[in-house]
A and B are shown apart, each in its own frame.
Chain A
Amino acid sequence: MNFETIMFYAFSAMIVFAGLRVITARNPVHAVLFLVLTFISCAGIWILLEAEFLAITLVLVYVGAVMVLFLFVVMMLDINLAQLRKDFWRWLPFGAALAVLMAYEMIWVLGSYETPGGNAAIKHAADYSNTKELGRLIYTDYVYPFEIAAVILLVAMVAAIALTLRRRKDAKSQVISEQVATKKADRLRIVKMQSEHKDSAANQLGEQK
């Protein structure tokens, strides 16, 4: 057993353990952190497959951004676990059936990829950049699916903002461009006046009395 195989089994064991803990952890924040651990272990396996671009992007996008926002939301939720667990046994058969179906589908899809000589990853030279390869494929052969996916994401984002945007009528906001464009003359008025003397001030006070 060489080093790569040991690493593969270590990462796989970590994924299975963390994945199970995601659905069994009682505390939702712990569940999210276990999901982060699952992603990082997956990235480790992808590194072993020499897919370093995908692995680092997984860490960058999912761990660095998506899960942070996830954690952000989950930390603020007030989750009543007893309420959530109430109907667990009632829905278990349905959930189990779905899980079996998904497992069957995955086995079916992956099982059909039998290549001669096993499913070993193809080794590349040290200067091979799969970032460049991936970029070339995405922007040439798969440019339309790529752009359609991008547009769908944009539409989803706009829709999400449009659904949740509530504009208050009495909200106050700054108009930054106006503030920046302000000249000295708009805000400051210089008044020319005679300087006041001590005696004259005292005299005036005396007259008023």
Chain B
Amino acid sequence: MMTAALLPFLAVLPIAASAATVLWRNATWQRVWLLGIPVLTALAALDLLLQHRDTPVIAENVGAFVPGVAIPFVSDTFSALMILVTSFTVLMCLVFMTATGENRYRLVTPLVLMLLGGVNGAFLTGDLFNLFVFVEVMLLPSYALIAVTGTWRRLGIGRTFVVVNLLTSTILLIGVGLVYATAETVNLALLVGAGSDPRTMLSSGVVLLALSIKAAIVPLHTWLPRTYPATSASVMALFSALHTKVALYALYRITSTLYEGQPPWIMVLAVLVGLSLVVGSYSTFSERVMRRALSWQMVAGVGHIMLGLMLFTQFSLGAGIFYMIHHIITMGALILGAGAIEQTYGSGRYERLSGIIRRDRLLTIGYALALMSLIGLPPSSGFFGKVGLVQASAQAGGAWQAVFITLIFVGALGSLVAMQRLWVGVFWGPDMEDYLPDSPETGRGAKVKLTDDIRVTPRLLAPMAVLVLTQLTMFVLAGPLMQVTTRAAEGLVELAPYVQAVTG
């Protein structure tokens, strides 16, 4: 069904739909596009994933230029898997968005669709400059999304996000320019092994620096926990599924292509990965608000994903990709669950919430399962995610083995205790007496006595429940899924089919 010629449409279609929803603002029409496009891209990605069992890479050189000059769109198992997982998670975030009514704000539908188009493009592009363009296409609607769904306070915090990301994009652009100056091409298929030239090594380092800021690797992470929790829950879930993951995908892709797995700054990477694992986990202690605590856990997750890249064996890459998928889905479930609580009771603060365990049983069960997944306890996808990374570290042997296995456990222990504080604060304790109801004029109204009929509605709960079930399915079907992630990793190690497909 999907052919190489259709690959650009995965990016073009959402952007065209974005235009269509700006021009015609009928509510039903907008909702059809808002929910239809992620379904469509997820199905297309699934089809691509099935095709890649036989043909590992398909590529399309846009504009009928000769290969090498044309802009390539490339799909392999890794990119198809990422599009499938992100589109699915985005769909759940959008279902949540329709439940909270945020999609009725002006222009939210087109902005989200444009965001999705940029993300799909960034996953499929085989050209560094085009990556920069799609990252910008992805970021511009994000700036506006913070402003549109936010209150005045959120707008102020949104500025931090805007300035940091714009500066980073400019650094990325400078890096791409330098790569062109030193390697004379920005086509990834022609850049294979170019990192062995010391000049290209330095210039591509600028690209990797920019992507590291976007991926929020410690010590370049401070913008993330400050800005993400300030947006609304559905927008935060969207961003957490898309933005940092695109940057991580690009880091995987570029490192494996340019250096063929032997980045010269492996020691720097090792230190950063170790720091991310620990800093993310232990900084969670400082927070007393659900989504702020979760944003620190995102930083810890980045450390885990980058560990797979740092060790760079086919097994460790597969484990890293598995962890990335697990992280997208689990984080989505946790943020949407926190969003459902905030929407209903008007607060995400530990001290304002208590006794949810007796009020909303289904939500509590789902949240417990998602938290277990975050920490890596069975039965959850996080268990196999961490087992994979521990195995990969053990295979690395030597000092890496001891250091990283210790750090994974130390990090998991920190997360466990920190998440218990969230658990005790929000789910245990006496029944709540009052709450802050949602008010369209002022955001949050005054304190009102909590009556028995105020519960988390099934509509708010459903998206989170689906993500938790997906995560449990990943636990049960970990074997087949790991085969897919291993195939994705194979595409990063064996570059010949990629080059073959692009250069024809």
* A, B assembled together: no
Residues in B lying within 8 Å of A, measured CB to CB:
none
Residues in A lying within 8 Å of B, measured CB to CB:
none
